[in-house]
Amino acid sequence: MSTTTTPVTAGTIRVSGLTVRHRRVTALDAVDLDFGTGVHGLLGPNGAGKTSLIRVLATVARPAAGRVELFGGDLGDARERRSARRQLGYLPQDFGYYPGFTVREFVAYVAWLKEMPADATGAAVEQAVERVGLTDRIDAKLKSLSGGMLRRVGIAQAVVNNPRLLLLDEPTAGLDPEQRVEFRALLRELGEASTVLVSTHLVEDVAAACTGVTLIERGTVAYRGTPAALAALGRDGDETDGNAIERGYTTALRAHRGTGAGR
Ligand SMILES: Nc1ncnc2c1ncn2[C@@H]1O[C@H](COP(=O)(O)OP(=O)(O)OP(=O)(O)O)[C@@H](O)[C@H]1O
């Protein structure tokens, strides 16, 4: 049984032979991938290599080997990396912030880092904060916010420049169910015009917001397809044991492990 289907779209990101190492650990092993407009869920067990992929795409880590193109530019080139940074938004798993900054100051600071025109920054900051439902706290200091609110500030700073590529590393961790529902609606909206890559352990995020799924396992690509195709893989199992996407995830992982691929 083949568990691989055609990716939904192609274009914004092209990765070939991507290898990422952390000292002796090979986090990604000669991976080929492409992503275009839409919301792409990145799934995989702990330590699979999802963060390593996102960090390379966000230009904060350099690969050991391989080629990475964003918007047609090769990230091996310093000028292309700088240009890519202006066009992407990135929410790391643990994002650093200055506790004494207000929400407005912090999001404006990120807009400045992204070299946005100064006269457009004020409105862009307010719009980004509104998108994450924090307008009433825009002048509150970050140290006064709850964990879930801080996560929303992290999302606001990632979208302030209306990025063509949005990279989100476990963005729904710490959000309550109502916020997650709202956040998935925001993801769908952003994915209409941009490429959104979202790493998550929550299959509900994938089912509700993603147009495509990529499953990473031990540094290799175990599965690519639509959420519906992944769910279909799980339909044959015991219907009482989790939902169809969770079972499809397990089926795809086991099939991949059976091939002996990965580190
Ligand atoms: N800074 C580091 N130093 C050494 N090894 C690392 C480092 N960062 C990641 N690794 C290793 O690289 C591999 C891939 O890690 P990565 O964080 O990319 O996985 P992940 O899929 O994002 O995991 P999780 O779901 O737990 O966040 C793992 O074996 C991890 O232990």
**DSSP letters of 11-67?**
SSEEEEEEEEEETTEEEEEEEEEEE-SEEEEEE-STTSSHHHHHHHHTTSS--SEEE
- For residue 134, the one-letter residue type is L
Choose which residue among 21, 25, 216 to substitute to test ligand 1 binding: the one with the highest number of ligand atoms within 8 A of its C-beta: 25
Task: Please determine, for residue 15, whether its predicted confidence score (pLDDT) is greater than 80.
Answer: yes
Using the 8-state DSSP alphabet, how is residue 145 labeled? S
Atom 5, ligand 1: residue with shortest CA distance: 22
> What does pTM read for this prediction?
0.91
CA atoms within 13 A on the CB side of 87: 16
pLDDT digits (tens, 9 = 90+) for 80-112: 999 999 999 999 988 888 899 999 999 999 999
Please determine, for the modelled complex, whether the ipTM score is greater than 0.95. yes
pLDDT digits (tens, 9 = 90+) for 20-66: 999 999 999 999 999 999 999 999 999 999 999 999 999 999 999 99
Residue ranges of alpha helices (H) inside the chain are 50-57, 78-87, 103-113, 118-131, 147-159, 177-193, 203-209, 227-233, 244-258
